[in-house]
Amino acid sequence: MCGITGFIGYENAAPLLIRALKKLEYRGYDSAGIAVIHDKKIIVRKMKGRINLLEESLLENPLDGYTGIGHTRWATHGEPSDINSHPHTDSDGRIAIVHNGIVENYIKLKQWLQSRGIVFRSDTDTEVIAHIINYFYRKGHGSLLQSVIEALKLLNGSYALAVICADYPDRIIAARKDSPLIAATGGAGSFLASDITALLEFTRDVYFLNDGEIAVLYQDHIELRNDEGDLIQRETTHIDWSVESAEKNGFPHFMLKEIFEQPKSLENALRPRLKKDIIDFEEIKFDKKWLEARRIVIIACGTAYHAAVIGKYAFEYFARIPVEVDIASEYRYRNPIFNKNDIYIAISQSGETADTLAAVRLIKQNGGCVIAITNAPGSTLSREANEIIYTYAGPEIAVASTKAFTSQVMCIYLLALELGRARSYIPDTKKYTDELCEIPDRIRKILDKKEIIQRFASRQYNKTKMLFMGRQFDYPVSMESALKLKEISYTHSEAFAAGELKHGPIALIDSSTLVISFATQTALFEKMASNILEVCSRGAASLVITWEGGGFFDALNSEVFTLPKSEDCFSPMLAVIPAQLFSYYCAVQRGNDPDKPRNLAKSVTVE
């Protein structure tokens, strides 16, 4: 949530900060701002609204200076407004900061500062940091670095922050705790960002800051220090994501581009793990722990949680092992039972989700080993987990997750199949891996029919209630589809297991309702047909997503969208595609920006 950027170098900072901020806009977009050091003074430009407003104002009234910091905000403390936008400055206007995260003890700190005569301008927690740094700076704590170190000691909560000071135009000081921060030197100078995508066009060799670390950026180099200010030596990490992977490449939105990238992203998830039809996860040890495990516990949030639920079905189906799936925010607070014979899996696209990380830490404190499934190299999760499976989906920029979800699901299927083989439930995985290899082409065929979904959305987008139902593997796909739709179209949508229809949801059905049914579990076709008849006969509009060929659902009073036939157990990766397209086209029809839905931000780094 929120995006941070910083630049110090041989070019004017403002245009570079804006370029980098645009790459981070998906992290928050209710306001934006930059601060630049010009002529030994700090000049701040910030405003409510999207970054292009700030950019326009800078074009009209440019800012010169080679050192600067920038921020795109997702409001937590204080409404989106010009005043609450970052950067924030101290009372002397000599220190400016941008901050991601939450200062949990800010009220106490604010009262203390107010008692010393400090007048606050904003409602944010961030402003206290600027004043505290100034407090130590004035007290003569030697240097800016030392003042920042002293200030950090007073903060509870999470932060990624960047600080500039008019008296030190030759440096930017950055620090992190529980919120990502990346620093790099290359070409025009040194850069700072809360996300790799902002740096891709400048350099690929980056330092990932660890919790408690401080980076001091100079024009031509970066010093890493610990929380006492001692120097640390670290190699840079090379990132091989391409610049284009973070561009729209002719698509009107990142979300549509990412939906269309799925054949490729799934190949990327699959190929490195298949060696001549044999599943081979080089990155994890399929040791005794897996063979003797009594239970698998999977934790995640949001869309990743839906991938986890598919994981439950897949592990139980292929490897006959009990699986417990939990939403990370519930898991961390519900006093869960730990067992050393359990396998713990955490799924997170960003690897920075606060609740997921807290659950991982809890598991590790209780002696568990955590396997991470993540898309983000260098993320906190990838550094804290015991073993990592990368999804290799490439950067996902749209707030609504699409390709990351299917890649997570692909990795889970591979794991479940390999575990099923290792535990002797599947004598030969070839039949299944052959099918998995077909999935990318089958998705291409579905994408070729995108106009069918587009037309359907243009007829249905105004429905006030949209419900999704399915059984077995179709149930988590229904959950994911309902989430996607509500996130970007703001339509009230719900998912339920089709067997639950008569236990409550049927009360919602009337002519203002659209019901989308997933029917890919062949053994349950008749049950699904009854459910679909029940909703149609109560006046709901209906769409069935099912396999091509059979015609089983043709006689119902429902539209039918067909998927190329695959094994029923692999249907989620196919069935979710028309649902993703449907959400996208409904959002566009409603005039929403699908990439930047209201109130949401990519990567929920605070609780």
Structure tokens at 158: 């999470």
Contacting ligand F6R within 66-85 (CB under 6 A)? none
Q: Does 216 bind ligand F6R (CB under 6 A)?
A: no
Q: Does 51 bind ligand F6R (CB under 6 A)?
A: no
Candidates 400, 443, 485, 601: give the one binding ligand F6R (CB under 6 A): 400
Contacting ligand F6R within 304-323 (CB under 6 A)? 304
Q: Which stretch binds ligand F6R (CB under 6 A): 16-24, 43-51, 257-265, 302-310?
A: 302-310
The Cα 14–Cα 7 span in angstroms is 9
Candidates 302, 311, 377, 420: give the one binding ligand F6R (CB under 6 A): 302
Q: Does 31 bind ligand F6R (CB under 6 A)?
A: no
Candidates 348, 391, 406, 460: give the one binding ligand F6R (CB under 6 A): 348
Q: Which stretch binds ligand F6R (CB under 6 A): 6-14, 126-134, 224-232, 348-356?
A: 348-356
Q: Which stretch binds ligand F6R (CB under 6 A): 102-110, 301-309, 316-324, 549-557?
A: 301-309
Question: Helix (H, G, I), strand (E, B), or coil: what is residue 346?
Answer: strand
Q: Does 580 bind ligand F6R (CB under 6 A)?
A: no
For residues 92 and 118, is the Cβ–Cβ distance under 8 A? no
Give the x-and-dash track for 584-603 against ligand F6R (CB under 6 A): -------------------x
Minimum separation from the CB atom of position 607 to ligand F6R (A) = 12
For residues 248 and 254, is the Cβ–Cβ distance under 8 A? yes
Q: Does 605 bind ligand F6R (CB under 6 A)?
A: no
Task: Give catalytic status of residue 2 as yes or no.
Answer: yes
Minimum separation from the CB atom of position 353 to ligand F6R (A) = 3
Q: Which stretch binds ligand F6R (CB under 6 A): 31-39, 295-303, 461-469, 517-525?
A: 295-303
Q: Does 487 bind ligand F6R (CB under 6 A)?
A: yes
Candidates 356, 391, 542, 566: give the one binding ligand F6R (CB under 6 A): 356
Q: Does 521 bind ligand F6R (CB under 6 A)?
A: no
Tokens 């009594």 belong to residue:
294
Minimum separation from the CB atom of position 372 to ligand F6R (A) = 10
Q: Does 406 bind ligand F6R (CB under 6 A)?
A: no
Minimum separation from the CB atom of position 346 to ligand F6R (A) = 9
Candidates 72, 265, 349, 478: give the one binding ligand F6R (CB under 6 A): 349
Candidates 130, 301, 587, 601: give the one binding ligand F6R (CB under 6 A): 301
The sheet carrying 541-547 orders its strands as 492-497, 465-470, 513-519, 541-547, 559-563
DSSP state of 338: P
Among residues 90 and 355, whose Cβ is nearest to ligand F6R? 355
Candidates 197, 350, 478, 520: give the one binding ligand F6R (CB under 6 A): 350
The Cα 14–Cα 63 span in angstroms is 6
Q: Does 185 bind ligand F6R (CB under 6 A)?
A: no
Q: Does 401 bind ligand F6R (CB under 6 A)?
A: yes
Nearest CA to 123 among 134, 101, 107? 107
Task: Give catalytic status of residue 301 as yes or no.
Answer: no
Q: DSSP assignment of 387-439, as one string?
A: EEEE-------SSS-SHHHHHHHHHHHHHHHHHHHHTTS-S--HHHHHHHHHH
Beta bridge partners of 174: 162, 215
Spell out the residues 6+ positions from residue 495 whose beta carbon is closer than 8 angstroms to its own.
Answer: 467, 468, 469, 475, 478, 479, 480, 481, 482, 483
Nearest CA to 196 among 259, 240, 159? 240
Which residue out of 463, 484, 596, 602 is catalytically annotated?
602
Using alpha carbons, list the distances in angstroms from residue 401 to 240, 255, 408, 520, 580: 21, 8, 11, 23, 9
Q: Is the peptide bond before 87 cis (omega within 30 degrees of 0)?
A: yes
467: left (phi over 0), alpha (psi -120 to 50) or beta: beta
Among residues 90 and 396, whose Cβ is nearest to ligand F6R? 396
Among residues 398 and 417, whose Cβ is nearest to ligand F6R? 398
Tell me phi and psi for residue 489, to 5 degrees: -105, -10
Beta bridge partners of 33: 46, 71
Structure tokens at 358: 């807290």
Q: What is the binding site for ligand F6R (CB under 6 A)?
A: 301-304, 348-350, 353, 356, 400-401, 483, 487, 603-604
**Mind telling me the catalytic residues?**
2, 602
